Amino acid sequence: MAAVPGDASLTHTPRTPGSAVFEWDTANEYGTGSPERDALYGCAPGAVATRAAVLAVVHPDDRALVRGFFAELDAARHGDILQCEYRAAAPQGGVRWLRNVCRVEVSAGRRHISGVLSDVTEGKRGDAVLALSERRYRLLAEYIGTVLWQATPDGFITHALGWTTLTGQQEGEYQGHGWIEAVHPDDRPVVAAAWRRSCAAGQPVDVEYRARSVATGEWVWLRARTVPVHDDQGRLIEWSGICENIDQRRRDAAALAAAKDRAEQQDRAKSKFLAAASHDLRQPIQSLYLLAAALEPHVRPEGAAARERLCHGLDVLSRVLNGMLDLSRLDLDLVVPRPRDFPIGELLEDVAAGYAQPAQAKGLALRVVACAPAMVRTDPDMLRRLLANLVENAVRYSERGEVTLGCAQAGGAVVVSVRDQGIGIPPGQLDLIWEEFRQLANPARERRVGMGLGLSIVRRLSALLDCPVGVDSTPGQGTAFTVTVPLAAAAAPPAVVPALPERPVQPPAAVRRARPPAILVVDDDPLVRESFELMVESWGSDWLVQVAGSVAEAMALRCPDAVVMDYRLGEETGDAAMARLRAHWRAPGLPGVLLTGDTDAGVAARARASAMRLLHKPVDTRRLRDVLAAMLAEA
């Protein structure tokens, strides 16, 4: 109930749908009104003529309210206008909300009341919906820790639903610019400046800051975002925004970043350990290879078989070590592809050249069938390792015939194939060949034929490169592996790809020179230097060898015909050392071989950038001699 200012006679108020006028004489407790009034009460005309009749149709829960309204009317002064809202029975059942607005007139001791009765049911329903909506927003804001707020066009905060729950500031404290007092002192200048700029420009604001939590007493991180609200004419009428609690999110992000840093540190530690282990384990094996080669001209015939067994044992040890270190790097996710565009034919020639000597020793023909010049895009070093494993398997498990390495374009890709005429694989066992330490042709696990890691490495490299590997085999006739490599983006596949003739791959022929080539070996390991010196001397008078333990020692010597450089030279890498030597001798095209026990693709990239041939330890001495001979022939 409330008093309403005004002095116009309500009996002359125009009738509108859902409203009616009435008059009331308090002296005889009798009221008259239009038929619409009785209809609003859900009664027949004239049925609501007394206050008792009115109370009879009022909702029981509101009767006390209406009695109080009647008492106020009886006590009101002349000219007072009062109103009351209550529920009454509806004609079709249920209830309807009515608003009763009355004007009191007092004359000659008599009290006369005139008024308007209106149906406000729809308005009440709208108010209920709004109240429910506000309650929902309040509960939602409190549940998710979000503040909903409004401000005047000049930035004066008028309402902030949830701010009191979050910070403890009451409405009178946070209104206007008082909310800034709850912000962390270090963040206040930034937040205040951002809010001023936003208000001046009429642009949204998005800022993060800390505020004191009343629940914990600690500073929590909040994110405030606001947007300007304009009317139909584009005038700024208010600001609306939210302020969400992002403290846990920031804590989670910080924890995630710390965990990421720890994981990266662990990865670096693992990578460093594997690199050191790879170098330290391969270095003595490399020395043994060199010493075994140096012994060859000095071994009596009766000791030749023992030396051959020694060399074979070193081969097995080398393959096992390489396989296990490669698998470790792949399993620890330390191998990251570095794709680039390159000609596939050159890579096939390089892979085949590496196995020409073993194939020839077994009486196998190793042939390359390169497709027409095609550029592919992938990591060349990882693809080389993958194909080398396939070719090595083909040579190892073939006792006759030939091994063919070729490729053919198919749509937007190049399909590289490695085919042999070996023992083949039974159809039911094709899925087993990819398992670690699985050797179908070696059930007794004789180490002379390896450890069964090559195809496991192939599968992992294939997945990393996204170059699918397929296999087709017929027992007794041979096996064909295929690797699908994407073409480079600029390489449009021709309609017809001409086939190139097969070309047998032979070990490089000896180079005829006017004088023996001088080879400089730079390695900081004295045992390796001595072993290299003995090995090259065992090659005969066609070769000269010099050794140096550092770049400084090498600079004191004459410029050689080729350099064999260890990758790890104390604090300096072999490619950097080679650059210094070339500059010192003014020989930019000086051939160089980079020896490393590290299989990281970054080392291969350094070797390419420095125009050096990369060989991984332990390298077979015949392989090293073939590479040096080929480089000297090209030079």
Q: Is residue 253 part of a domain?
A: no
Q: Which residue has the higher pLDDT, 269 or 210?
A: 210
Asked if 570 and 544 touch (Cβ cutoff 8 Å), the reply is no
CATH number for position 491:
3.30.565.10
Q: Which residue has the higher pLDDT, 272 or 414?
A: 414
- Collapsing DSSP states into helix, strand and coil, what is residue 117? strand
Q: Which residue has the higher pLDDT, 519 or 498?
A: 519
Q: What is the average pLDDT across 189-204?
A: 91
- Answer yes or no: do 616 and 540 share one domain: yes
- Using a pLDDT cut of 90, give the percent of the chain over it: 23
How sure is the predictor about 276, in pLDDT bands with cuts at 50, 70 and 90? low
pLDDT, residue 577, reads 92
Q: Is residue 49 part of a domain?
A: yes
pLDDT, residue 10, reads 41
The whole-angstrom separation of Cα 493 and Cα 487 is 8
Asked if 103 and 6 touch (Cβ cutoff 8 Å), the reply is yes
pLDDT, residue 220, reads 92
Q: Is residue 125 part of a domain?
A: no
Distance (Å) of CA 255 to CA 261, 521, 574: 10, 50, 40
- Answer yes or no: do 580 and 552 share one domain: yes
Least-confidence region, from 255-269, 480-494, 506-520, 549-563: 506-520
What average pLDDT does the structure give for the chain?
A: 80
- Answer yes or no: do 386 and 498 share one domain: yes
Total of domains in the chain: 4
- Answer yes or no: do 376 and 485 share one domain: yes
Asked if 490 and 340 touch (Cβ cutoff 8 Å), the reply is no
- Both tokens of 167, joined, read 């910070």
Q: Is residue 128 part of a domain?
A: no
Q: Is residue 221 part of a domain?
A: yes
pLDDT, residue 72, reads 92
Of 411, 412, 415, nearest in space to 370 by CA:
415
pLDDT, residue 449, reads 47
Phi, psi of 303 (to 5 degrees): -100, 0
Q: Is residue 258 part of a domain?
A: no
CATH number for position 321:
3.40.50.2300
Query: SS3 breakdown of the chain: % helix, strand, coil, rounded to 5?
Result: 45, 25, 30
- Answer yes or no: do 442 and 453 share one domain: yes
pLDDT, residue 6, reads 40
How sure is the predictor about 7, in pLDDT bands with cuts at 50, 70 and 90? very low
- Answer yes or no: do 627 and 595 share one domain: yes
Model pLDDT for residues 373-421, shown as the tens digit of each residue: 788 999 888 888 889 889 988 888 888 889 999 888 888 899 999 999 8
- Answer yes or no: do 385 and 475 share one domain: yes
Least-confidence region, from 40-49, 233-242, 312-321, 541-550: 312-321
Of 348, 365, 503, nearest in space to 415 by CA:
348
Q: Is residue 539 part of a domain?
A: yes
Range of the domain at 419: 336-504
Torsion of CA 132, 133, 134, 136, to 10 degrees: 90
The whole-angstrom separation of Cα 500 and Cα 371 is 6
pLDDT, residue 606, reads 87
pLDDT, residue 11, reads 41
Task: Judge whether residue 478 has pLDDT over 80.
Answer: yes
Residue 71, CB half-sphere, CA atoms under 13 Å: how many? 6
Q: What is the average pLDDT across 4-29?
A: 60
- Answer yes or no: do 516 and 471 share one domain: no
Q: What is the pTM of this model?
A: 0.44
Asked if 434 and 303 touch (Cβ cutoff 8 Å), the reply is no
- Answer yes or no: do 628 and 555 share one domain: yes
Structure-token match 């009331």, residue found? 24
- Answer yes or no: do 494 and 520 share one domain: no
Sign of CA dihedral 581, 584, 586, 588: positive
CATH number for position 170:
3.30.450.20
Instruction: Spell out the alpha helix ranges (H) of 296-398.
Output: 304-331, 344-354, 356-361, 380-396
Last residue of a domain, one of 504, 535, 570: 504
Last residue of a domain, one of 55, 90, 119: 119
- Answer yes or no: do 180 and 149 share one domain: yes
Task: Judge whether residue 14 has pLDDT over 50.
Answer: no
- Answer yes or no: do 360 and 400 share one domain: yes
Amino acid residing at 122: E
Last residue of a domain, one of 504, 523, 549: 504
Distance (Å) of CA 324 to CA 396, 431, 433, 446, 568: 19, 21, 17, 17, 21
Query: What does the DSSP assignment read for 528-569?
Result: HHHHHHHHHHHT-TT-EEEEESSHHHHHTSPP-SEEEEESEE
Q: Is residue 129 part of a domain?
A: no
Least-confidence region, from 341-345, 540-544, 554-558: 540-544
Task: Judge whether residue 497 has pLDDT over 80.
Answer: no
Least-confidence region, from 14-28, 501-515, 549-563: 501-515
